[in-house]
Amino acid sequence: MAERSFKAEIEHLRLGEGETFTGEGILAITKALLESGVGYVGGYQGAPISHLMDVLADAQDLLGELGIRFEANANEAAAAAMLAASVHYPIRGAVTFKGPVGVNVASDALANLSSSGVTGGALVIVGEDYGEGSSIMQERTHAFAMKSQFWLLDPRPNLTSIVKSVSDGFELSEASNTPVMLMVRIRSCHLTGTFLCRDNQKPKLNVRDALSSPRSDFARVVLPPMSYLHEQDKIKNRWPAAEKYIRDNQLNEVFGSKDRDFGIVVQGGMYNGLIRALQRLGLADIFGRTEVPIYVLNVTYPLISDEFLAFAAGKSHLLVVEEGQPEFIETQLGSFLYRAESQTKLHGKGMFPMAGEYTGAVMLEAVTSFIKTAAPAMLAAIVRAPNVDHPAIPDLSRTVPIRPPGFCTGCPERPIFAAMKMVEKELGKHQIAADIGCHLFGALPPFEIGGATMGFGLGPAGNGAFDGGGERRPVAIIGDGGFWHNGLSSSFTNMAFNKSDGVAIVVDNFYSAATGGQDVMSSRADNATKATKNPIAKALNGIGITWVRQIDRTYDVAKMRDTIREALTTSEPGPKVIVASSECMLNKQRREKPLAQMAIKDGRRVATPRFGIDEAVCTGDHACIRLSGCPSLSVKQLDDPLRDDPVATIDQSCVGCGNCGEVSDAAILCPSFYRADVVHNPGTWERRVAGLRGAAIGWLQRRRDARQLTFERGAN
């Protein structure tokens, strides 16, 4: 089950010519694909384009009506390989994944695709995940586009421009026989707006029709001598054709006055930030009208020399707004000016920082610096927007502690790391390789287990250098999403083939949870369009790994601890794998809470577990917090003059998983945790029993109070 359902929004995808579409960027891209006559779509989920895959999954009825093939691929490489259908056949195809990590995974298929070239339009929609909101290493897709010669679109962040770029991307691909990348940033994916629709188009040739008339062409196979000809074809034919299409169809845009002797060149995706900075300086209005000449690069690769030089003509200063490093665009534009013997001074990195996200504050500072250099009189003459001057923000980094991300309340992965911490105390610290996914939070406090990750599904492979025998066995962590993405073929086949003696723990939470809760091969739910319920343990046995331990309730901390200890101390040779399974608590709550609320509303009996701490028993050493780290487990100060230390307490965010009590029991901490079931709509017998218990407890409390020694202040 995905994080979000788009069933209601899918009907908007049926809108026709002249109707107005209102919605998110992700939905707009889907609509644009349908309007462009796409024949097949695939991809792999990952922020910020996870919802695009979810939209497509929910829209399969509509896709079927149009004859469009949709595939949720096992990984990005499989998605990119789908585009092979556009090599020989005039079928438009699109795939999507998170970039640049998705591009890295898919690089072999993408490089082959670019070398062979395409007949039908081939579009790779890359969710550019760069800057402070990113969850990955800070890299740019631009470098890959240059390396393999994909044309790279970076449209202005509004729905009309994004939708147009999808259509432009297919047409540019077909005009130049080259695959095209469409880069959509986080804000583009989730902004909301409107655009005028066109009718959805069935593909002129669908994949079913293509199967009835197979085609092949050895000239497109990437083998010598053809691969050498592909390189020449890129330079002599495809590149000039791409430049002509970009120029003739004005994919890049020019705004602002033509009379100024300075201007700004900006990536399309950065246009809104630039206009906002100019607004704050009083140099643009809320509609984007400005006196500053702006050359918007909706196509950031290839750059069009004569188009740029025409914009630069008569200008003494130009500013290049290029987020990220190195400065590919600025360097190329500088080369154009140098070859043209232009005297125009180019600014960019220096006024802008070399690396990092160009936030509103960064953009405003750099643009202000440029205007002061290029047209100082302009700043003196304008009326500043009222929010330009802002108070100085104090540096709080020394006084406010950092708040690293962590496991959700009730996460079934938390007890796995608590058990590992107990084993570490007993057997000593081990070499631990991590992987991509929620379980990577185990590298942070309070667990601090695992400190390096080499890629999705590569956790066990990351221990290859340490797997030659030693005093202690290396340990690797991998999730079920990573297992099916790349782990089975790369990490575990590697362990089996090399007769590894290491230990791998597969964290199985039933979903590709970190990307929004999409199903994977081992998911336990029924899925009408996907093959689920395929055990991870069975796959491991299939490649020759026999020491496999299945744990179906990770909250049993004692069993987790004992199984990990067994794996690290057994004399049995070969790889040791523990499959630790419990459902992702977020997905479980999404599924069960609505059902429970409906049952309560219907008057049916529902018991909800709640955990608490007996304040009289709690010792106040807080070992339970250090070994659990649950967000619902905190401290509070007692109103007791004889107890100075705060005691542990459980707040209302508790989901009743029981991990805190299990940890306390397994680690032999103070027995202060208790469980109480909150019963909604109790039966008659339960009400009577509760009444009797309340009366008995009340009588005992009153008797105790009567026997307490009290002191009264006498009258003066």
Q: Are 358 and 448 part of one and the same domain?
A: no
Q: Are 170 and 272 part of one and the same domain?
A: no
Q: Is residue 503 part of a domain?
A: yes
Q: Are 225 and 260 part of one and the same domain?
A: no
Residue 255, pLDDT > 90, answer: yes
Residue 711, pLDDT > 70, answer: no
Q: Is residue 204 part of a domain?
A: no
Q: Of 526, 555, 587, which one is at a domain's C-terminal end?
A: 587
Question: How far is the C-alpha of 544 from the C-alpha of 495, rounded, in Å?
Answer: 10
Q: Are 165 and 294 part of one and the same domain?
A: no
Q: Are 10 and 51 in contact (CB under 8 A)?
A: no
Residue range 310-369, pLDDT digits in tens: 999 999 999 999 998 899 999 999 999 999 999 999 999 999 999 888 999 999 999 999
Q: Are 524 and 641 part of one and the same domain?
A: no
Predicted local confidence at residue 386, as pLDDT: 53
pLDDT band at 504 (very low <50, low <70, confident <90, very high): very high
Strands 299-301, 151-153: pairing is antiparallel
Bridge-partner residues for 266, per DSSP? 296, 321
Residue range 134-192, pLDDT digits in tens: 777 788 899 999 999 999 999 999 999 999 999 999 999 999 999 999 999 888 888 89
Q: Are 135 and 272 part of one and the same domain?
A: no
Q: Is residue 394 part of a domain?
A: no
Q: How far are the Cα atoms of 9, 194, 199 from residue 20, in angstroms, in the given order?
A: 14, 6, 12
Q: What is the CATH number of the domain that holds 21?
A: 3.40.50.970
Q: In 3D, which of 298, 272, 295, 191 has the Cα closest to residue 280?
A: 272
Q: What is the CATH number of the domain that holds 691?
A: 3.30.70
Residue range 591-617, pLDDT digits in tens: 888 999 999 999 999 988 888 888 888
Number of domains in the chain: 4
Q: Are 261 and 227 part of one and the same domain?
A: no
Phi, psi (rounded to 5 degrees) for 189: -65, -35
Predicted local confidence at residue 716, as pLDDT: 55
Q: Are 637 and 527 part of one and the same domain?
A: no
Q: Is residue 401 part of a domain?
A: no
* pLDDT, mean over the chain: 89
Q: Whole domain around residue 83: which residue ranges?
A: 7-199+214-248
Q: What is the CATH number of the domain that holds 352?
A: 3.40.50.920
Q: Are 566 and 539 part of one and the same domain?
A: yes
Residue range 75-89, pLDDT digits in tens: 999 999 999 999 999
Q: Are 658 and 675 part of one and the same domain?
A: yes
Max CA-CA distance within the chain? Answer: 112
Q: Are 240 and 265 part of one and the same domain?
A: no
Q: Are 158 and 14 part of one and the same domain?
A: yes
The per-residue DSSP string of 364-396 comes to HHHHHHHHHHH-HHHHHHSPPPTTSS-PPPP--
Burial 486-508 (b: 16+ CB within 10 A, else e): bbbebbbbbbbeeebbbbbbbbb
Residue 385, pLDDT > 60, answer: no
Predicted local confidence at residue 419, as pLDDT: 94
Q: Are 395 and 642 in contact (CB under 8 A)?
A: no
**Residue 168 Cα to chain centre, angstroms:** 27
